Amino acid sequence: MDFSLPESARAVRDGIGEICARYDMDYWQRCEAEKRWPEEVWEELAKGGWLGLAVPEEYGGGGQGLLELTVATETLSAGGSAGGSAFTYVLTPGFGALTLTRHGSEWQRREILPRLAAGTMETCFALTEPDAGSNALAISTSARRDGDDFLIKGQKIWITGVQRAEWMLLVTRTIPAAEARPRTNGLTVFLVNVPEAVAAGTLSYQAIPKMGANTTPSNMVFLDDVRVPADRVVGRVDQGAAVLWDILNPERILLGASSVGGAEVALRVACDYARERVVFGRPIGANQAVAFPLAQVKAKIELARLMLYKAAWLFDNREPCGTEANIGKLTAAQAAWEAADQAFQVHGGMAYSLEYPVARLLTDARIGKVAPVTEELLLNYLATQVLGLPRGF
Amino acid sequence: MNIVVCVKQVPDTATERKLRPDDKTIDREAAEGVINEICEYAVEEALRLKEAHGGEVTVLTMGPSKATDTIRKALAMGADKAVHLVDDALHGSDGLQTSYALAQVLKKIGFDVVILGSESTDARMGTLAAMLAERLDAPQLSLANKVEIDGSTIRIQRLTDYGFDRVEASLPAVVSVVEKINEPRYPSFKGIMAAKKKPVETLSVADAEIDAAKVGLASAATEVVDFAVAPPRAAGTIVKDEGDGGVKVAEFLASKKFV
């Protein structure tokens, strides 16, 4: 067994780490406060080839896989962007690159991957609906044939990054959920050209005011007979579940990685303060009641990271990775939350001041416990799929 | 064009830097070694000259074996190859000796332009470019914030207290650059991966035909006699404005010879 990171992943950590070193916590605080896309960092990521890491070399990318993306997301998050802003990275270099590389047709790859790698085109992913979040298979957005095309109708919610996306990976039902046997049958994934559909008046969206992660808006999306040519189906009609798992598992792994990075930021902030803040004549970090919870968090971060790397490695080697992805996601989100909570405790009342980053770290960490999947659903997966316990629903 | 850029690994300025109590040289084990920041600007300028005029950029460094990290950094930015002068005999060399050692290597590998950062953050001598130029019998163009090459002519803007001088010389030449000259690029993913495969030639003192008796602490022309930790900063003077604040401030500044 070899636990050393491959050279490619170390290059990612060093290279993105170097960019992050020039954009400090204040930068990310400002982006969040101003609800502003981190344009400067994005530009550097594009120039360095960090956006196209997982795009095959023949399409102008780095030819790497999910492991490198995992390290990239974690590094970016740990650099100060924390969980919320790291999502900016997952949308295109993650969803777009991985999905089209593995499931895209030659036309789709040629259309999208080279510009994705160059950083001149972005993607987003639309699955969840007002009545289908945890129960994602219950989506009702439908695609019906109309000559050589499909017409898509429905509503999506919590779709992040639509504003900047040229292409949306849209999950639809071509067989209604009630009629699908098994339930995973009858799903079809489309590539929807967002500006085209907006211009045609068939797609609109509305940003949802939200607590955090405001560098990228999340939206309600309304689809009113969006016309999509058949060559924009990703994978096969009705067989979209195969594509969907290859989006959802990387999503868990990458957002787990962003939680790991967020946890590292919170721990760093907490430790710095615990070293410097002197009360009763000594730094508060010298008190075991302060130090031990931080040490405990460190242990949890390392465990979560290890599991996420394993999950990414399995995915890259085309092995089943659902169990590892879910365990990694669950434990990473918990570690991030505990880290942020401890950072709050260590800062005492000052944590409540927006001049400190703790509030942002706490908000970012909290969403990890419900998005993209709730802790409860992850536990349910482990209970039913791994432990073989009876299903409750 | 054969461009050689000299880079130096220095102790990270973000960490506590120390001198060794035994021989009063920089303790290179105590702090993490990083590329001297101004050297990144030198590498960037070398790469830009290559992009404009063609040729090859060679990284040259003198330092312990861990300086390899600094070489890789410069190669990751885009330099083509590197020469690493590494030998225990070089330990403790002062500026004069360093210029001698590097000049021996430069004579061996040849050059059209040698580019250096204006100074290092550890020793802060700021004289290496001048010394090298003298030893190589090449014109020195120091403190450049702009470099242009036209055929065999090199022109720089030398940053001065009052603006800048335009300095012109013929190649081969030695140039030192200041931070204002450019914005160094970040290594790209492909750059970092490619750097691992680029050739790094390791030279010993003997390989570079350096006289071992002329380098190292024992024969250094300068000697660190003693050193002490900088005293903690004393409390400042607070001027309370009772209608005469301006005068008091002026008197204070005058007493310190600021005005």
Identify whether residues A221 and A249 lie together within a single domain: no
pLDDT of residue A107: 97
> In this structure, what token pair is assigned to residue A234?
């990703």
pLDDT bin (cut points 50, 70, 90) of residue B233 is confident
Identify whether residues A346 and A367 lie together within a single domain: yes
Residue B36 to chain A, least CA–CA distance (Å): 15
Residue A327 to chain B, least CA–CA distance (Å): 30
Nearest chain A residue to B192 by CA distance is: A11
Domain count of chain A?
A: 3
State mean pLDDT over B15-38. Answer: 87
Identify whether residues A221 and A91 lie together within a single domain: no
State mean pLDDT over B76-82. Answer: 97
State mean pLDDT over A316-343. Answer: 97
A276-300 pLDDT per residue, tens: 999 999 999 999 999 999 999 999 9
Q: What is the DSSP string of A39-69?
A: HHHHHHHHHTT-TTTTS-GGGTS----HHHH
CA–CA dist B83, B61 (Å, integer): 7
State mean pLDDT over A91-95. Answer: 95
A229-240 pLDDT per residue, tens: 999 999 999 999
Q: Which of B188, B192, B193 sits opposite A47 (nearest CB)?
A: B188
Q: Which of A7, A15, A53 sits opposite B187 (nearest CB)?
A: A15
Q: Is the pLDDT of residue A303 over 90?
A: yes
Q: Which of B185, B190, B192 sits opposite A14 (nearest CB)?
A: B192
Question: Which DSSP letter does residue A126 get?
Answer: E
ipTM rounded to 2 decimals: 0.86
Q: Is the pLDDT of residue A393 over 80?
A: no
Q: Is the pLDDT of residue A195 over 90?
A: yes
pLDDT of residue B132: 96
* Percent of chain A at pLDDT exceeding 90: 94
Contact: A49, B193; criterion CB under 8 Å? no
Q: Does A51 touch chain B (CB under 8 A)?
A: no
Q: Is the pLDDT of residue A210 over 70?
A: yes
Q: Which of B185, B188, B196 sits opposite A7 (nearest CB)?
A: B196
Identify whether residues A108 and A139 lie together within a single domain: no
Query: Quick one: which H or E segment has residue A103?
Result: helix A97-103
Please, where are the H alpha helices in B181-259?
A: 189-195, 245-255
State mean pLDDT over B173-191. Answer: 95
Q: Which residue bears the tokens 């050279």?
A: A7
Contact: A11, B192; criterion CB under 8 Å? yes
B149-170 pLDDT per residue, tens: 999 999 999 999 999 999 999 9
CA dihedral A9, A10, A13, A17 (to 10 degrees): -150
State mean pLDDT over A204-225. Answer: 96
Residue to test with chain A: of B189, B190, B192, B193, most A Cβ within 10 A: B189
Q: Is the pLDDT of residue B16 over 90?
A: no
Residue B205 to chain A, least CA–CA distance (Å): 32
pLDDT of residue B210: 96
Q: Does A17 touch chain B (CB under 8 A)?
A: no
Q: Which residue bears the tokens 């992050």?
A: A20
Show which of A67, A102, A122 is a domain's final residue: A122
Class of domain B2-219: alpha beta
Q: Beta strands of chain A (E only): which ranges?
A: 123-126, 142-146, 149-160, 167-173, 187-193, 203-207, 218-229, 233-234, 278-279, 282-283
Residue A136 to chain B, least CA–CA distance (Å): 36
Contact: A11, B185; criterion CB under 8 Å? no
Contact A270, A296 (CB under 8 A): no
A363-376 pLDDT per residue, tens: 999 999 998 999 99
State mean pLDDT over B67-85. Answer: 96
Contact B37, B122 (CB under 8 A): no
B124-137 pLDDT per residue, tens: 889 999 999 999 99
Nearest chain B residue to A72 by CA distance is: B189
> Where exactly are the structural domains of chain B?
2-219
Assign A120 to helix, strand or coil: coil
Region of residue A379 (left: phi > 0; alpha: psi -120 to 50; beta: else): alpha
A134-187 pLDDT per residue, tens: 888 999 999 999 999 999 999 999 999 999 999 999 999 999 999 999 999 999
Q: Is the pLDDT of residue B177 over 70?
A: yes
Contact A311, A321 (CB under 8 A): yes
Show which of A219, A238, A257 is a domain's final residue: A238
Would you say residue A392 lies in a domain? no
- In chain A, what residues touch B185 (CB-CB under 8 Å)? 47
pLDDT of residue B21: 87
Structural domain harbouring A102: 7-122
Q: Is the pLDDT of residue A349 over 90?
A: yes
B/e letters for B143-165, b = 16+ CB within 10 Å, e = fewer, are: bbbbbebeeeebebbbbeeeeee
Beta strands B56-62 and B2-6, pairing class: parallel
Identify whether residues A69 and A171 lie together within a single domain: no
CATH of the domain at A170: 2.40.110.10
pLDDT bin (cut points 50, 70, 90) of residue B235 is confident
Longest dimension (CA), chain B: 72
Span of B21-30, B37-46, B198-207 with lowest mean pLDDT: B21-30
Would you say residue A391 lies in a domain? no
Identify whether residues A188 and A146 lie together within a single domain: yes
The CA radius of gyration of chain A, in Å to the nearest whole number, is 21
pLDDT of residue A85: 66
Identify whether residues A202 and A118 lie together within a single domain: no
Q: Is the pLDDT of residue A17 over 90?
A: yes
Single pTM value for the model: 0.89
CATH of the domain at A320: 1.20.140.10
Residue B185 to chain A, least CA–CA distance (Å): 9
Identify whether residues A158 and A25 lie together within a single domain: no
pLDDT of residue B124: 86
* Percent of chain B at pLDDT exceeding 90: 76
- Indicate the average pLDDT of chain A: 96
Identify whether residues A59 and A168 lie together within a single domain: no
Identify whether residues A159 and A57 lie together within a single domain: no
Nearest chain A residue to B197 by CA distance is: A7
pLDDT bin (cut points 50, 70, 90) of residue A82 is confident
Show which of A238, A265, A281 is a domain's final residue: A238
CATH of the domain at A25: 1.10.540.10
B199-221 pLDDT per residue, tens: 999 999 999 999 999 999 999 99
